[in-house]
Structure 1
Amino acid sequence: MIIDLRSDTVTKPTKGMLDAMMSAEVGDDVYKEDPSVNALEKRLADMFGKDQALFFPTGSMANQTALKLHTNPGEQVICDKYSHIYNYEGGGASFNSGISCKLIDGNRGMFTASQVEASINPPDFYHSPLTTLVEVENTTNKGGGACWDFEELKRIRKVCDTHNLGYHLDGARLWNALATTKEKAKDYGQLFDTISVCFSKGLGCPIGSVLIGDKDLMQGAIRVRKILGGGMRQVGYLAAAGLYALDHHLDRLSEDHKKAKEIGAVLEDLSIIAKVEPIETNIVIFELEPHVDESEFLKQLSDKDIHIIGMGSNKLRMVTHLDYTDAMHKHLLDILNEF
């Protein structure tokens, strides 16, 4: 039994998803003639109450397109020091858009409206970059799957309105947040100018993200996607996976969250564990005691065919997902209790 908890990106399509993909009606998406892609884009635009949506091969490309749509070279985006656009997109903000990041020292990847206000460069002070965009990530990856307080997101929206700033949501794991909180997709659609959502994480698709937004911004999205190399042809086979996931995999996300919390409860009882971060969704981040060797801990798990991520400084991560079965879960808990 191989247990892979490195990420929720390691999942493989279910039989039902594969059947949906193989029976998809397709066309040339570069000409906007793929009916399956068009159906997915319309469904998401309607779900979030937005004008348009556009399919992308990756979440990074969707986020990078959003940055480009909101900014001009030399400008600046406000984001958390843990944000994906800063840490895990290859420096794309500077390479693709020619912009810099003003990093906020938030709490588990989340910050406050007052911190945003304090981070805005004076627009008439030409020595500093012009602040034009605020970006948030929900749930926070590096922050351990934390869910933002929606009221704080609304307060940040007011700051953006006051200072004429764009507002982008990296919603790679927004589905997990929606499964945990009382908000709906349209609540986020009313709040943000652009939203990216991912299908290859919690929803178990092999590939795919979608950027959703207002018409005035989104009219340039397909051009940016083309420039970034994201023009695709009969991509409806992949869009069909997304449609299937929306129908069959949303409701089960709470199962992943329950298992993550059960893992956390076992870890908290182990003497070798110094700290377990609060667990709200499907990400478990924990820290070993200083005397415990991280590489040796990882090796002992690997020798038992259990694979997780080492984040350095004795901090590690597990992510539960669609392919992590009840049998795997029981086996993992038994192994952990042996430490």
Structure 2
Amino acid sequence: MELEQAQKLWQPEPGWLNTASYGLPPEPVWTAVQDALADWRVGRTSWEVWGEATERSRTAFATMVGVPAADVTVGSTVSQLLAPVAAALPAGASVVVPEVEFTSNLFPWLVQEQRGVRVRTVPLAGLVDAIDSDTDLVAFSLVQSADGTVAEYEKVVAAARAHDALVAVDATQACGWLPFDAGLADAVAVGAYKWLMAPRGSALAYLAPALRERMRPDAAGWYAGADPHSSYYGPPLRLADDARRFDISPAWFSWVGTAPALELVAEIGPPVIQAYDVALANRFLAGLGQPPGDSAIVTVEVPGAQEKLARAGVRAAVRAGRVRASFHLYTTEADVDLALDALTS
């Protein structure tokens, strides 16, 4: 689908510059969820119809990040998807994490400290150099939530591989606008409600086959079964032999909206979206006299910025003491200029 054609699928109120908090649903997503809710209200259909959306989402995500669908597990949040990875670390393992990492990719490692796992935080700029022979796993966000910094993904992976360390990535603030190969890492988890513009409550993760051999599916239920529909009752344990053994039972209506969202992003293409989003971000930076960047998320320090933006009807966020603005498919140059007028007036 051409970009201009796709952009007709949104009708946002002017001034939404906060996709890094949550994305806005395109028309196919909104319609799919409303139709499912209407069917639920009167008992018009069976739940299996809603369940099919989960498998569509798994396939679309796998294609987007360049991995086999059999290596993708589904869940509800990033921390829940990373928890079994953290639990699989041996006692005494050493984990390296950026010091301003979003806690969905920090707390799962920190809670393992009670059994001897050691977590060391370092500046993001020094992450590559901090990986050494004592490192068992390095965890980081592909794009930082606080300020939009894009991590040196391939360099971090190369440093980890040089020391036989695992790599766990939170790509929530990247997937949907930043093209990347998930297969370079061992685990890549994504919350789908931001740049993938799905309802909150759906998340996906790539889990490398070698990593899965170390992991135990502690949350296994019927949906983790080799055949979920014959896994409703009774023993023996009969789990899927691929990443699906780490699935949790899907929240139907979240996934009903996730499938068309991911399929639309895949159809437009992350490279096209990247070019559009970063161009808007750089228009914003240029208007404030700042050099261009490489991210769809930017932060600025302008006295009274939060109040100025609010008076103009611009919705942005404040993170780590700075105004954070984020730009996506439904953002227009008029939105950017509205924010610039508010900040420079």
Question: TM-score, structure 2 length as denominator?
Answer: 0.70
Number of residues paired by the alignment? 293
- Measure the CA separation in 1 of the matches of 2:268 and 2:34: 17
Map Cα deviations across residues 143-175 of structure 1 (whole Å, 9 max, x no partner). 42324253x1342243242xxx22212222333
Matched, 1:193 2:186: yes
Which residue number in structure 1 is paired with residue 97 of structure 2? Answer: 79
- Between 244-253 and 194-203, report the one with greater CA deviation: 244-253
Which residue number in structure 2 is paired with residue 18 of structure 1? Answer: 30
CA contact (8 A) 1:53 1:210 kept: yes
Which residue number in structure 2 is paired with residue 155 of structure 1? Answer: 158
Which residue number in structure 2 is paired with residue 56 of structure 1? Answer: 75
Map Cα deviations across residues 226-250 of structure 1 (whole Å, 9 max, x no partner). 6x99533535414423334333463
Give the alignment partner of residue 337 of structure 2, picking from 330, 333, 339: 330
Superposed CA RMSD in Å reads 3.6
Map Cα deviations across residues 106-127 of structure 1 (whole Å, 9 max, x no partner). 32xx622x3211xx54xxxxxx
Which residue number in structure 1 is paired with residue 3 of structure 2? Answer: none
CA contact (8 A) 2:78 2:104 kept: no
Helix, strand or coil at the partner of 1:174: coil
171 and 311 in structure 1: CA distance in 2 versus 1, 3 angstrom threshold: closer
Which residue number in structure 1 is paired with residue 171 of structure 2? Answer: 171
Which residue number in structure 1 is paired with residue 266 of structure 2? Answer: 246
10 and 35 in structure 1: CA distance in 2 versus 1, 3 angstrom threshold: closer
Question: TM-score, structure 1 length as denominator?
Answer: 0.71
- Measure the CA separation in 2 of the matches of 1:332 and 1:171: 27
Amino acid at match of 2:341: D
Map Cα deviations across residues 280-300 of structure 1 (whole Å, 9 max, x no partner). 121111234xxx4xxx33222
Identity across aligned pairs (percent)? 15
Which residue number in structure 1 is paired with residue 323 of structure 2? Answer: 316
Map Cα deviations across residues 184-211 of structure 1 (whole Å, 9 max, x no partner). 53xx41x211111332222222232211
Amino acid at match of 2:207: G
Helix, strand or coil at the partner of 2:150: coil
CA contact (8 A) 2:196 2:265 kept: yes
CA contact (8 A) 1:199 1:209 kept: yes
Matched, 1:217 2:217: no
Map Cα deviations across residues 45-67 of structure 1 (whole Å, 9 max, x no partner). 45533442111222332233433
- Measure the CA separation in 1 of the matches of 2:46 and 2:292: 43
Helix, strand or coil at the partner of 1:142: coil
Map Cα deviations across residues 237-271 of structure 1 (whole Å, 9 max, x no partner). 14423334333463334222111111111112xxx
Which ranges in structure 2 are unaligned for 5 or more consecutive residues?
Answer: 1-12, 37-44, 222-245
Matched, 1:5 2:17: yes
Which residue number in structure 2 is paired with residue 126 of structure 1? Answer: none
- Between 12-21 and 257-266, report the one with greater CA deviation: 12-21
Which residue number in structure 1 is paired with residue 140 of structure 2? Answer: 136
Helix, strand or coil at the partner of 2:252: coil
Matched, 1:35 2:52: yes
Amino acid at match of 2:161: K
CA contact (8 A) 1:3 1:305 kept: yes
- Measure the CA separation in 1 of the matches of 2:265 and 2:123: 35
CA contact (8 A) 1:11 1:322 kept: no
Which residue number in structure 2 is paired with residue 273 of structure 1? Answer: none
311 and 141 in structure 1: CA distance in 2 versus 1, 3 angstrom threshold: closer
Amino acid at match of 1:223: D
Cα deviation for residue 212 of structure 1 reads 0.8
Cα deviation for residue 331 of structure 1 reads 2.0
217 and 154 in structure 1: CA distance in 2 versus 1, 3 angstrom threshold: closer
Which ranges in structure 1 are unaligned for 5 or more consecutive residues?
Answer: 122-130, 269-275
Which residue number in structure 2 is paired with residue 116 of structure 1? Answer: 131
The structure carrying a bigger strand percent of its residues is: 1
